[in-house]
Protein backbone atom coordinates (compact mmCIF):
# COMPACT_ATOMS: atom_id res chain seq x y z
CA UNK A 1 0.00 0.00 0.00
CA UNK A 2 1.47 3.35 -1.00
CA UNK A 3 1.93 6.10 1.56
CA UNK A 4 -0.36 8.95 0.59
CA UNK A 5 -0.90 10.52 3.99
CA UNK A 6 -1.12 13.96 2.37
CA UNK A 7 -4.15 12.92 0.33
CA UNK A 8 -5.84 11.37 3.34
CA UNK A 9 -6.32 14.88 4.74
CA UNK A 10 -8.72 15.81 1.91
CA UNK A 11 -12.21 16.31 3.30
CA UNK A 12 -15.13 14.71 1.49
CA UNK A 13 -18.77 15.79 1.65
CA UNK A 14 -21.47 13.75 3.35
CA UNK A 15 -22.60 12.01 0.16
CA UNK A 16 -19.93 12.34 -2.57
CA UNK A 17 -20.85 11.26 -6.09
CA UNK A 18 -18.91 8.21 -7.28
CA UNK A 19 -17.44 8.11 -10.77
CA UNK A 20 -15.92 4.89 -12.13
CA UNK A 21 -14.63 4.27 -15.65
CA UNK A 22 -12.68 1.21 -16.70
CA UNK A 23 -12.11 -1.69 -19.04
CA UNK A 24 -14.91 -4.23 -19.26
CA UNK A 25 -14.41 -7.62 -17.65
CA UNK A 26 -15.74 -11.03 -18.71
CA UNK A 27 -19.13 -12.30 -17.61
CA UNK A 28 -17.48 -14.84 -15.31
CA UNK A 29 -15.32 -12.12 -13.78
CA UNK A 30 -18.45 -10.02 -13.29
CA UNK A 31 -20.03 -12.92 -11.40
CA UNK A 32 -17.05 -13.05 -9.08
CA UNK A 33 -16.99 -9.30 -8.53
CA UNK A 34 -20.71 -8.96 -7.90
CA UNK A 35 -20.92 -11.84 -5.45
CA UNK A 36 -17.76 -11.04 -3.49
CA UNK A 37 -18.50 -7.29 -3.26
CA UNK A 38 -22.12 -7.75 -2.20
CA UNK A 39 -23.25 -8.03 1.37
CA UNK A 40 -24.97 -11.39 1.61
CA UNK A 41 -26.21 -10.92 5.16
CA UNK A 42 -28.67 -8.14 4.36
CA UNK A 43 -30.66 -7.13 1.29
CA UNK A 44 -32.48 -3.79 1.38
CA UNK A 45 -35.55 -4.37 -0.77
CA UNK A 46 -39.32 -4.66 -0.60
CA UNK A 47 -39.15 -7.99 -2.42
CA UNK A 48 -39.29 -10.05 0.77
CA UNK A 49 -40.41 -13.27 -0.86
CA UNK A 50 -37.45 -13.13 -3.25
CA UNK A 51 -35.03 -12.36 -0.41
CA UNK A 52 -36.31 -15.31 1.61
CA UNK A 53 -35.58 -17.49 -1.40
CA UNK A 54 -32.03 -16.15 -1.58
CA UNK A 55 -31.47 -16.67 2.15
CA UNK A 56 -32.82 -20.20 2.09
CA UNK A 57 -30.33 -21.05 -0.61
CA UNK A 58 -27.38 -19.22 0.96
CA UNK A 59 -27.81 -20.41 4.52
CA UNK A 60 -29.42 -23.83 4.12
CA UNK A 61 -33.21 -23.69 4.25
CA UNK A 62 -33.61 -26.02 7.22
CA UNK A 63 -32.24 -23.28 9.50
CA UNK A 64 -34.36 -20.43 8.17
CA UNK A 65 -37.49 -19.12 9.84
CA UNK A 66 -39.86 -19.05 6.89
CA UNK A 67 -42.25 -16.54 8.49
CA UNK A 68 -39.74 -13.68 8.66
CA UNK A 69 -39.86 -10.69 6.31
CA UNK A 70 -36.63 -9.14 7.53
CA UNK A 71 -33.91 -7.80 5.25
CA UNK A 72 -31.28 -9.07 7.70
CA UNK A 73 -30.10 -12.67 7.65
CA UNK A 74 -29.35 -12.51 11.38
CA UNK A 75 -33.08 -12.14 12.13
CA UNK A 76 -33.86 -15.44 10.41
CA UNK A 77 -32.00 -17.69 12.84
CA UNK A 78 -32.94 -18.98 16.28
CA UNK A 79 -29.94 -17.20 17.80
CA UNK A 80 -27.07 -14.87 16.92
CA UNK A 81 -24.41 -17.53 17.46
CA UNK A 82 -26.14 -19.82 14.96
CA UNK A 83 -26.29 -17.00 12.42
CA UNK A 84 -22.67 -16.00 13.05
CA UNK A 85 -21.41 -19.52 12.37
CA UNK A 86 -23.43 -19.71 9.16
CA UNK A 87 -22.29 -16.30 7.94
CA UNK A 88 -18.62 -16.91 8.74
CA UNK A 89 -18.79 -20.16 6.77
CA UNK A 90 -20.38 -18.36 3.81
CA UNK A 91 -17.88 -15.50 4.09
CA UNK A 92 -14.96 -17.92 3.87
CA UNK A 93 -16.41 -20.08 1.11
CA UNK A 94 -17.10 -17.12 -1.17
CA UNK A 95 -14.18 -14.89 -0.20
CA UNK A 96 -16.51 -12.01 0.61
CA UNK A 97 -14.92 -8.57 0.91
CA UNK A 98 -16.14 -6.37 3.74
CA UNK A 99 -17.00 -3.04 2.14
CA UNK A 100 -18.78 -0.05 3.62
CA UNK A 101 -18.73 2.27 0.61
CA UNK A 102 -17.73 0.45 -2.59
CA UNK A 103 -19.98 -2.59 -2.60
CA UNK A 104 -22.08 -3.47 -5.63
CA UNK A 105 -25.86 -3.61 -5.20
CA UNK A 106 -26.84 -5.54 -8.32
CA UNK A 107 -28.68 -8.42 -6.67
CA UNK A 108 -31.55 -6.44 -5.17
CA UNK A 109 -31.93 -2.80 -4.16
CA UNK A 110 -34.73 -0.51 -3.03
CA UNK A 111 -32.81 2.55 -4.23
CA UNK A 112 -34.91 4.77 -6.49
CA UNK A 113 -32.84 3.75 -9.52
CA UNK A 114 -33.06 0.07 -8.63
CA UNK A 115 -30.04 -2.28 -8.59
CA UNK A 116 -26.78 -0.42 -9.14
CA UNK A 117 -23.01 -0.62 -8.78
CA UNK A 118 -19.72 -0.06 -10.57
CA UNK A 119 -19.66 -3.54 -12.20
CA UNK A 120 -22.71 -4.77 -14.10
CA UNK A 121 -23.60 -8.45 -14.51
CA UNK A 122 -22.55 -8.16 -18.16
CA UNK A 123 -19.08 -6.97 -17.12
CA UNK A 124 -19.31 -3.24 -17.74
CA UNK A 125 -17.07 -1.26 -15.37
CA UNK A 126 -18.76 2.09 -15.03
CA UNK A 127 -20.70 4.29 -12.63
CA UNK A 128 -21.85 7.89 -12.68
CA UNK A 129 -25.31 8.04 -11.15
CA UNK A 130 -25.12 7.42 -7.41
CA UNK A 131 -23.44 8.70 -4.26
CA UNK A 132 -21.53 6.91 -1.55
CA UNK A 133 -21.65 7.82 2.12
CA UNK A 134 -22.37 8.60 4.87
CA UNK A 135 -19.32 10.79 5.57
CA UNK A 136 -16.66 8.64 3.87
CA UNK A 137 -13.02 9.60 4.10
CA UNK A 138 -10.28 9.34 1.49
CA UNK A 139 -8.23 6.78 3.44
CA UNK A 140 -11.11 4.38 4.08
CA UNK A 141 -12.17 4.41 0.43
CA UNK A 142 -8.52 3.94 -0.59
CA UNK A 143 -8.24 0.86 1.64
CA UNK A 144 -11.43 -0.55 0.13
CA UNK A 145 -10.06 -0.09 -3.39
CA UNK A 146 -6.86 -1.83 -2.23
CA UNK A 147 -8.88 -4.81 -1.01
CA UNK A 148 -10.78 -4.88 -4.31
CA UNK A 149 -7.59 -4.61 -6.40
CA UNK A 150 -5.94 -7.45 -4.48
CA UNK A 151 -9.00 -9.66 -4.93
CA UNK A 152 -9.44 -8.85 -8.64
CA UNK A 153 -6.00 -8.02 -10.09
CA UNK A 154 -7.45 -8.05 -13.61
CA UNK A 155 -9.37 -4.82 -12.91
CA UNK A 156 -8.25 -1.74 -14.80
CA UNK A 157 -10.22 1.31 -13.73
CA UNK A 158 -10.12 4.87 -12.48
CA UNK A 159 -12.47 6.25 -9.87
CA UNK A 160 -13.18 9.72 -8.52
CA UNK A 161 -15.13 11.12 -5.61
CA UNK A 162 -16.67 14.54 -6.21
CA UNK A 163 -17.23 17.50 -3.94
CA UNK A 164 -21.00 17.10 -4.13
CA UNK A 165 -23.86 14.76 -4.94
CA UNK A 166 -24.97 13.63 -8.40
CA UNK A 167 -27.87 16.10 -8.22
CA UNK A 168 -25.58 19.10 -7.73
CA UNK A 169 -24.28 21.25 -10.56
CA UNK A 170 -20.65 22.13 -11.31
CA UNK A 171 -19.14 19.47 -9.06
CA UNK A 172 -15.42 18.76 -9.29
CA UNK A 173 -13.34 15.71 -8.31
CA UNK A 174 -11.49 15.80 -5.00
CA UNK A 175 -9.61 12.51 -5.19
CA UNK A 176 -8.81 9.94 -7.87
CA UNK A 177 -7.91 6.26 -7.49
CA UNK A 178 -6.44 4.08 -10.23
CA UNK A 179 -6.46 0.27 -10.16
CA UNK A 180 -4.07 -1.67 -12.35
CA UNK A 181 -2.26 -5.01 -11.95
CA UNK A 182 -3.59 -5.46 -8.44
CA UNK A 183 -2.21 -2.11 -7.27
CA UNK A 184 -3.90 1.15 -6.34
CA UNK A 185 -2.58 4.66 -6.85
CA UNK A 186 -4.23 7.70 -5.29
CA UNK A 187 -3.72 11.19 -6.65
CA UNK A 188 -5.21 14.63 -6.93
CA UNK A 189 -7.32 14.67 -10.12
CA UNK A 190 -6.16 16.67 -13.13
CA UNK A 191 -9.55 16.55 -14.82
CA UNK A 192 -13.06 15.17 -14.39
CA UNK A 193 -13.38 11.59 -15.66
CA UNK A 194 -17.12 11.87 -16.20
CA UNK A 195 -19.83 14.31 -15.19
CA UNK A 196 -22.10 12.89 -12.51
CA UNK A 197 -25.49 11.89 -13.84
CA UNK A 198 -28.53 12.57 -11.68
CA UNK A 199 -31.63 10.52 -12.47
CA UNK A 200 -34.34 12.58 -14.14
CA UNK A 201 -38.02 12.19 -13.33
CA UNK A 202 -38.44 10.38 -16.63
CA UNK A 203 -35.67 7.93 -15.77
CA UNK A 204 -37.14 7.25 -12.34
CA UNK A 205 -40.53 6.52 -13.94
CA UNK A 206 -38.84 4.30 -16.52
CA UNK A 207 -37.08 2.44 -13.72
CA UNK A 208 -40.38 1.91 -11.92
CA UNK A 209 -42.12 0.71 -15.09
CA UNK A 210 -39.30 -1.37 -16.61
CA UNK A 211 -39.84 -5.11 -17.02
CA UNK A 212 -36.30 -6.39 -17.63
CA UNK A 213 -36.85 -8.66 -14.63
CA UNK A 214 -40.04 -9.63 -12.86
CA UNK A 215 -39.87 -6.67 -10.49
CA UNK A 216 -38.06 -3.37 -10.42
CA UNK A 217 -35.89 -3.97 -7.35
CA UNK A 218 -34.54 -7.33 -8.52
CA UNK A 219 -31.25 -7.13 -10.41
CA UNK A 220 -30.83 -10.77 -11.39
CA UNK A 221 -32.99 -13.85 -11.71
CA UNK A 222 -32.79 -16.46 -8.98
CA UNK A 223 -31.21 -19.14 -11.18
CA UNK A 224 -28.56 -16.68 -12.37
CA UNK A 225 -27.79 -15.74 -8.77
CA UNK A 226 -27.38 -19.39 -7.78
CA UNK A 227 -25.15 -20.03 -10.79
CA UNK A 228 -22.98 -17.02 -9.87
CA UNK A 229 -22.61 -18.15 -6.25
CA UNK A 230 -21.74 -21.71 -7.27
CA UNK A 231 -19.21 -20.41 -9.77
CA UNK A 232 -17.50 -18.30 -7.08
CA UNK A 233 -17.62 -21.11 -4.54
CA UNK A 234 -15.78 -23.42 -6.94
CA UNK A 235 -13.36 -20.65 -7.90
CA UNK A 236 -12.47 -19.97 -4.26
CA UNK A 237 -11.95 -23.67 -3.60
CA UNK A 238 -9.57 -23.96 -6.56
CA UNK A 239 -7.64 -20.78 -5.73
CA UNK A 240 -7.25 -21.24 -2.01
CA UNK A 241 -7.39 -25.02 -1.58
CA UNK A 242 -5.39 -26.43 -4.49
CA UNK A 243 -5.29 -30.22 -4.56
Q: What is the pLDDT of residues 27-38, one digit of tens each?
A: 999 999 999 999
Q: Can you name the residues that pair with 159 across neighbouring β-strands?
A: 20, 177
217 CB-contact burial (10 Å; exposed 0-12 / middle 13-18 / buried 19+) = buried
DSSP secondary structure letter of residue 49? H
| Residues 21-44: b if buried by 16+ CB within 10 A, e if exposed | ebeebeeebbbbbbbbbbbbbebe
Cα 164-217-18 angle, rounded to 5 deg: 20
Report pLDDT for 25. Answer: 98
For residue 194, is it within any domain? yes
Q: Can you name the residues that pair with 21 across neighbouring β-strands?
A: 126, 158
In tens digits, the chain (243 residues) has pLDDT values of: 455 668 999 999 999 999 999 999 999 999 999 999 998 999 988 888 899 899 989 997 565 655 567 788 888 888 889 899 999 999 999 999 999 999 999 999 988 888 999 999 999 999 999 999 899 999 999 999 999 999 999 999 999 999 999 999 999 999 999 999 999 999 999 999 999 987 665 555 555 555 444 578 999 999 999 999 999 999 999 876 654
| Residues 159-186: b if buried by 16+ CB within 10 A, e if exposed | bbbbbbbbeeeebebbbbbbbbeeebeb
For residue 17, is it within any domain? yes
For residue 52, is it within any domain? no
CB 115 within 8 A of CB 218: yes
For residue 108, is it within any domain? yes
CB 118 within 8 A of CB 18: yes
For residue 93, is it within any domain? no
Distances (CA, A) of 163 to 13, 16, 75, 130, 132: 6, 6, 37, 13, 12
Q: Is the dihedral of CA 64, 69, 74, 78 positive or negative?
A: negative
For residue 83, is it within any domain? no
Report pLDDT for 3. Answer: 52
Distance CA 96, CA 117 (A): 16
Report pLDDT for 29. Answer: 98
pTM for the predicted model, two decimal places: 0.90
Distances (CA, A) of 61 to 56, 58, 91, 171: 4, 8, 17, 47
For residue 159, is it within any domain? yes
Distance CA 211, CA 218 (A): 10
- Looking at the 3D structure of the chain, how many domains does it have? 1
Q: Is the dihedral of CA 99, 101, 102, 105 positive or negative?
A: positive
Domain containing residue 158: 7-33+101-221
Distance of CA 56 to the CA centre of its chain: 21
Report pLDDT for 77. Answer: 84
For residue 135, is it within any domain? yes
Amino acid sequence: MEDRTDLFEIELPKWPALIVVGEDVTVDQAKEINIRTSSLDYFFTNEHEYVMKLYKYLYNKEYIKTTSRSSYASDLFDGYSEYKRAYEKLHEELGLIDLEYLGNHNIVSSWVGGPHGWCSWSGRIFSDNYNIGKWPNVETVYKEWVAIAEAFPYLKLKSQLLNGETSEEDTVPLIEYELRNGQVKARKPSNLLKKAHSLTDEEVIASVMQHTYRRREIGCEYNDFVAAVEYVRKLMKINFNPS
